[in-house]
Structure 1
């Protein structure tokens, strides 16, 4: 019991994990479903505590009749056991594996001391035995980690991860709103969100993150099966909790959204009666989802080797597919009966209804109802997933509505994953580098300017 109490008390020190090493850009047609499995398994704790999980340490993507390993760091259990990037997992303990969920559920529903993986490597079958390990609790010399729990409106518990500066509060507080995809931010791995939140906390900001449904220690529907309303419920519960925290400067609560999080921010702000200090949206979109999809499809089809005539024919079909999907709310199965060659359009990281719900929101209307909150929109020149002009469109309209309330910042060599990249072609080829060092200073300088 003493050991358990120590661990519960120390459920107050720790962070994160997100994409794999190269944060793949999240375009609708180009989505590569990447799932970091630094997860899951349970221990018996009190009803209002979330159990700590074990990890095997893999990132995966779906392939035919299995899942392929895209990341297997040598210091994690799978890597230590000899699993390699490129291996295709065919079965675990003799049970066939057809998706990432098979791996996750094997971990979530059991507590095996070992797992026997059958993998295909260079055309040959290999058997690898992996011993899962409990995820270690983290710390940092420049700030404190605090683990907590928040209950969503459906009664499930989500893990919260807080970085708190040393010393006495209250502190200006940044609520992080992530992009689409299934990931946990509970790891030491050097990925963009982790680097960003660590840097913000090191400079005096308390940062707050709610883990996604079914990810990390969180309960709930498996992330790949959720809709947008389920995703929002976690962020709503989190923001409500932030409003009760004594360490938070309630006059300086900031929403920081990336990609789809750039829609989540104004949704939350438009719903709350308590004023927000600022909303920051990075690498996002500023028009309804149907319009975004058409523009994004045209932007990305030009990276292909199609002729101009083929591009126009493709786009004509694309408009019809997206209209049926987002406006008429038809299922992928219904659409594929008419356009059977468009299965690639529905390789989605969540249930298909997620994006149909997103399509019901009108970003500019939401931004107009964010009260007196200052707005900052940030885009990168190496980002081929979103439009720079849409960021400017939001800023210009906000400044027409409330002069001086919005600013746009452009970082020329930043990709959609908030990393250095030479240009869009390099980013699309997976040649992005480290987390962009200009991003956090730009955010902090702007926040300090609106505090004056």
Structure 2
């Protein structure tokens, strides 16, 4: 009871104001770097140079903003994703490549030597680039640690569904990056792991990886974190964002942790979440209740056919042409990923967990449900009273941005989230 009062008191004050794995520092190579930020020019259907990074191979070669990028060596370029994949799969730092460029009416060719992708830097704490060894390949691991030699609490961050890099040397204003940096400045080490096929990470394409393989990789990362000499292995936490919250509780049920922080997560069976979240979105848009019910009835049929019966999306779409666009939302991951996610009984996972929990939901989060976060805290406290705390974060959206409404974004990160998380970690670290 005293711990709960202490945690709630701190949080209310803040809210009111506003396979074993091994880690190595060197063996996983840094990915090549051309030095271009690109955008897709929809009118010309071509990649356009938006920015040339200072000191990069592209700058030294003479490429300019506004240039149209046509080919990499002999390969025509059709998307930024394709270019990244070509470089990641076929080249290494130091290799020479030829870029074919259109500048105005001129066709130009530039020969350049690929550089090394920069790393994140911070003036007041250390950032280490390490790796995790898995059966499918090595994964990039990014560690931030306070500038002291003693063992400290640690947070392993588990990102959501998207196949996006969490290695951000050019964009340290990303919400989760700012959150993890803030925790490190308060004395907490943090660890991020790139997914398979993303950034420096080896292995299959992220989109093709299934849910269980991804879960095993993060479980291995957790076991590795406990072996760092600067980590207090009795004070390790998981921070799961979105579907990362489901992974977090599953992992914690296999490898004990001091606590779990979830933000914008899912607290129920996947298809149940899909229906309820879409009901909420349509109600927010003011759609008639009867229209919403008809729409959800069709979505439910699609969900059963695809997620439960495992019929191909193309077949389900042919049977229900009106829902083809809805089914395309799930092209971002493999069929097996979704089928395995659907099998997870999320409330059952939380009912087995016996550590501490901080369940956070932003008041302008349109992607997740407040009642899921309340339910998570309820389930945990039902088994072990006073272990879980639910907090509704003011002026925050699903992406942890600082927002004043569902449309108005004030800043890329709401610092209240970091204050809440840090206060909770400090309080829980003192608990037996």
Superposition TM-score tier, normalisation by shorter sequence: 0.7 to 0.9
Structure 1 residue aligned with 2:341: 358
Between stretches 90-99 and 240-249, larger displacement belongs to 90-99
Residue 143 in structure 1 maps to residue 121 in structure 2: no
Match of 1:204 in 2: 187
Between Structure 1 and Structure 2, which shows a larger proportion of helix residues? 2
Are 2:91 and 1:110 aligned?
yes
Q: Are the aligned partners of 1:269 and 1:276 in contact in 2 as well (CA < 8 Å)?
A: yes
Match in the other structure for 2:253 = 270
Match of 2:226 in 1: 243
Conserved 8 A contact 1:62-1:68:
yes
1:332 aligned to 2:310? no
Shift of 1:238: 0.6
1:408 maps to 2:408:
no
Would the aligned equivalents of 2:47 and 2:70 in 1 still touch at CA under 8 Å?
A: no
Equivalent in the alignment of 2:277 = 296
Q: Report the TM-score, using the length of structure 2 for normalisation.
A: 0.81
Tell me, in whole angstroms, the C-alpha distance in 2 between the residues paired with 1:130 and 1:387: 51
Q: Provide the C-alpha distance between the structure 2 equivalents of 1:288 and 1:59, rounded to a whole number of angstroms.
A: 38
Question: Residues 68, 180 of structure 1: CA spacing in aligned structure 2 closer, same or farther, 3 A cutoff?
Answer: farther
Structure 2's unaligned 5+ residue stretches are 1-23
1:191 matched to 2:174: yes
Which segment drifts farther, 128-137 or 71-80?
71-80
Please report how far the alpha carbon of residue 48 of structure 1 lies from its aligned counterpart in structure 2 after TM superposition. 8.0
More moved, 395-404 vs 179-188? 179-188
Structure 2 residue matching 1:368: 3-state secondary structure? helix
Question: How far off its partner does 1:336 sit?
Answer: 1.6
Contact 2:26 2:130 in 1 (8 A): no
Q: Distance in 2 between matches of 1:364 and 1:130?
A: 56
Q: What residue in structure 2 maps to residue 16 of structure 1?
A: none
Q: Does 1:95 align with 2:75?
A: yes
Q: Alpha carbon RMSD of aligned pairs, Å?
A: 3.3
**Is 1:162 aligned to residue 125 of structure 2?**
no
* Structure 2 equivalent of residue 386 of structure 1: 368
Question: 1:99: Cα distance to partner?
Answer: 5.0
Provide the C-alpha distance between the structure 2 equivalents of 1:293 and 1:242, rounded to a whole number of angstroms: 33
The number of equivalent residue pairs is 394
Matching residue of 1:172: 153
Is the contact made by 2:70 and 2:99 (CA closer than 8 Å) also made in structure 1?
no
Deviation at residue 317 of structure 1 after TM alignment: 1.1
Q: Match for 1:441 among 410, 419, 432?
A: 419
User: Of residues 30, 36, 61 in structure 2, which corresponds to 1:52?
Assistant: 30
The two structures have a TM-score, normalised by structure 1, of: 0.78
Residue deviations 1:229-262, cap 9 Å, x none? 2221321121111122221101101011111111
**Paired residues of 1:62 and 1:100 also in contact (CA < 8 A):** no
- In structure 2, distance between residues paired with 1:207 and 1:369: 26
